[in-house]
Structures are given as C-alpha cells and as structure tokens.
Amino acid sequence: MDLSVFFAGTAGSVPTPKRGLPAILLRAGGERILFDCGEGTQHQLLRSVGLPDLDAIFITHLHLDHWLGLPGMIKTFDMRDREAPLEIFGPPGFLATFQQVVRPIIGRTKYRLDVSDLDPHEEIGYDGFVIQGFPVKHRVEAFGYAFVEDDRPGRFDAQRAQALGVTPGPDFGRLQRGETVGDVTPEQVMGEGRLGRRIVYSGDTMPCQTTEVYAAGADVLIHEATFCEDEKTRARETGHSTARQAAQLALDAKVKLLALTHLSTRYFPRDIRDEARATFEPTVVPRDFDTIEIPFPERGEPHLVKHELPAAPS
C-alpha cells in the first residue's frame, strides 16, 4: 500500500502568505483522509494536489483554526454531486458544535453526512488500517490521531519451501495464507511477522505521555511546535509545545522521523528546526504542499519530498 502525508496547511492560529491553517491529507492506498480542516483548506488542496473525494475527516479540537474550512468544503462536495457518504469525526462536543453552528450554514446535502463524537481511544477501521483517537492536553478537549497499519506476514522463503518438497505454484500461495501443504507448515517457510507502519498526529497539545505512548516506534510523528524554548512559559499557559519539547518526546518514543507543524509567525522555520535537531536530529519542518513518503521499512526510510515552486517567468 502506498502511504504518504501531504501538508495542506502548517501555520498556527493565523494564516500567512506562505502557510495555510492546519490541514493534513493522509493518502493510504485508495483512501483519502483529512486531519483538521482550517479555513481555506479546500483552496489549498485545489492549488496543489486537487480536491479529492475524501473518505473521512478527523478534527482534533474545536478552536476555529482547525475546522472553519468544513462548511465550504462540504458545500463544494454537494455542488459536485457527490454521492458517497462522508464521515466526520471529532472529540467529545464536536457533534453538538457541528449541529448548532455548521449545519444551519450548510443546510441539507444530497449525499449522506455522518458526524460523530469519538470516545477516547476509539478506533475507526478501514481496509488494512485503523485510525485511533487519543486525548491530549490543550486548553479545550482535544484529540491526537494515530494511523496504524495492519501487521504483515513474514517473508516467504521459496528456496526453503522447494527444499522441503513443495512445488512452485498454488501450494506456495497456500503456505503464505497459513495453510499446511503435505507435511510442510507455514512456520517452516515464513519469516517473522512484520509490524505495520504507524503515523501519529498530535494536534494542538502540551507534551503529554499519551502522545508518547501512541507514537512509540512510529515511522512519523507530526507534532506541533508553536514556540521555541524562549517562550516555554507561554507555551505551557496556552497548552502548546516548544520545538525542543516535541523533539524530546520524539526521542523518548523512538520515532523514525519528526515533522513539526503549527508554526507561529514569531519564528523563522529554521529556528524551530535547529532547536529540535539539537535534541532529535531526524527532524523536518514541512512547508505547505510538501509531502512525507512512508515506504515499507524494507524499501527505505520515511522522507520529506519538498514541493517544487513554479519557475519565475523569464
């Protein structure tokens, strides 16, 4: 399954000319799942990869910069004659806010709109993976989200199977499906199972143990870094994290790659990056429209693919 994360918006609280409000698009096989939907998200997508027919949207919390893009996107889908249902999830209290604020604005839709509150640690299942919601520490009730891919079977040893007398062909497939062929068992020809890939998105949060637990061994941790250490007190007062704190959490959780988002206009991106890398070197600070590709571990490490800016006119 192809797996990547596209950064549609990486600013914190207010947009800038170069950074939109929080929105991250997960592309997992044929599924398209959006985490947060700040104001202008549909425009950000239209300017870059196009507006996909999303399968689901997960909102981290009820601060406006994380969901105000929903009404426009929902109506755009309606005007495009969308037929497939759209699921929208959020932390406790999200459904009531949606019904009181968003529903009167958008009216009825021709397609089914399923909006739900998630319980802490609840899982939503998809083909080959789940999305898990977990509580984090912010000024309001807030969730982070974890993409957890199903574990994969171990590698099939074809040479070993033939040495044991198994004929190449359908019997190879039976062994890989866990069936015994003659006297040969799958355990004799299959390697150890391989863990599925894991991506964790913190949303807005102070450093918290729950995030570290869900991020343990993750391929990618996408963590907010609204402040640097010079504003550590301010970060605590507002329920946010510093770049160093996010890096320390990534180090403790033993993640492969840390991506910092929710950037404040008070810092240059290199300030955030350099502070984090002093603690956790494999750190990137994506720009809007950058992508992180997450291949299977045997095919390489997760890596940032920078968006190529259009060439200046000659």
DSSP sequence for 61-109: -SSGGGTTTHHHHHHHHHHTT--S-EEEEESTTHHHHIIIIIHHHH---
Q: Which residue has the tokens 């571990």?
A: 297
Does residue 262 have a known ligand-binding role?
yes
Annotated active-site residue in 2, 53, 55, 65: 65
Please check if 119 is assigned to a binding site: no
55 catalytically annotated: no
55 is in an annotated binding site: no
- Known binding residue 66? Answer is yes
CA–CA dist 203, 250 (Å, integer)? 15
Q: Count other Cβ atoms within 10 Å, centred on residue 151.
A: 10
- Give, for 293, the enclosing helix (H) or strand (E): strand 291-293
Q: Does the annotation flag 223 for ligand binding?
A: no
CB 6 within 8 A of CB 305: no
157 labelled as ligand-binding? Answer: no
Annotation-wise, does 138 bind a ligand? yes
Contacts 24+ apart (CB under 8 A), 130-136: 131/33, 131/56, 131/58, 132/214, 133/58, 133/89, 133/91, 134/210, 134/211, 134/213, 134/214, 135/91, 135/210, 136/60, 136/202, 136/203, 136/204, 136/205, 136/206, 136/208, 136/210, 136/211
| CA terminus-to-terminus distance, the chain | 41
Sequence ranges of the binding site for Zn(2+) = 61, 63, 65-66, 138, 204, 262
Q: Active-site positions?
A: 65
Sequence ranges of the binding site = 61, 63, 65-66, 138, 204, 262
